[in-house]
Amino acid sequence: MSSNPSARRVVVTGASSGIGAATALALVAAGFEVHGAARREDRLADLSGVIGHHLDVTSDISVEDLAAQFETLDVLVANAGGAFDAEEVGNATLASWEKAYDVNVLGTVRTIKAFLPALIASGNGHIVIMGSTAGRVVYENGGSYAAAKHALAAVAGTLRLELNGLPVRISEIAPGMVKTDEFAVTRFGGDKEKAAKVYQGVEKPLTAEDIADIVKWTVTLPAHVNIDLLVVRPLAQAAQHKVHRKA
């Protein structure tokens, strides 16, 4: 499976689009042996230099089958996630809350648990958890996503304590407004008009490539340097509720 035995090996989950795809490509360019994993495995074929794998982070069997292919692993980018509604808590569809928790939180825990032995065995492991500013500050109509990302922040902090003394770094990247092709569209159930309004008037939201560059920087720092938490927003977004929009 290894195309370059001397290269550091990385698995990127949710690599079929958005931040995951951009991160996989950025790490290939940085000289990593990149294994991209996603439910839509066919899309991974479009990522030059990326070794594709099918992965459903909500399935124990799927995650364990992939992890079994790695005796050692240098970096795990736990990126798979998403928002699945934009409802008030009082009108919550519990199925979307369950999906948000299963994909964002349980999916990440499931993946980390499966790959942790290989990360420790590498002697220089690094787990990058893709969080969100929603995991730091709540906002209206974002309850399910914010709750899941707050839980994910707790997972990152707990892991850092539990793995202290072992050769595994834990970094949480928490992006603010990132404009990708699918995130907001998925949140609004495929309604592209509603999705477009999220970014309306915002001159320069963050891009997937911006976050990919940050992940690349984080995982290429010396082994004794750990970025605990990196919060990044576009200049136009001062806070969740404070975004400059041109008329």
Give whole-number Cα distances, 198 to 43, 69, 185, in Å: 26, 40, 10
Sequence-separated (6 or more) residues with CB below 8 Å from residue 146: 134, 135, 137, 138, 139
List the alpha helices (DSSP H) in 6-58: 18-29, 41-44
**199 is known as an active-site residue:** no
Which residue of the set 101, 139, 145, 199 is catalytic?
145
- Kind and range of the H or E run holding 127: strand 125-130
DSSP letter assigned to residue 57: T
Q: Which residues are annotated as catalytic?
A: 145
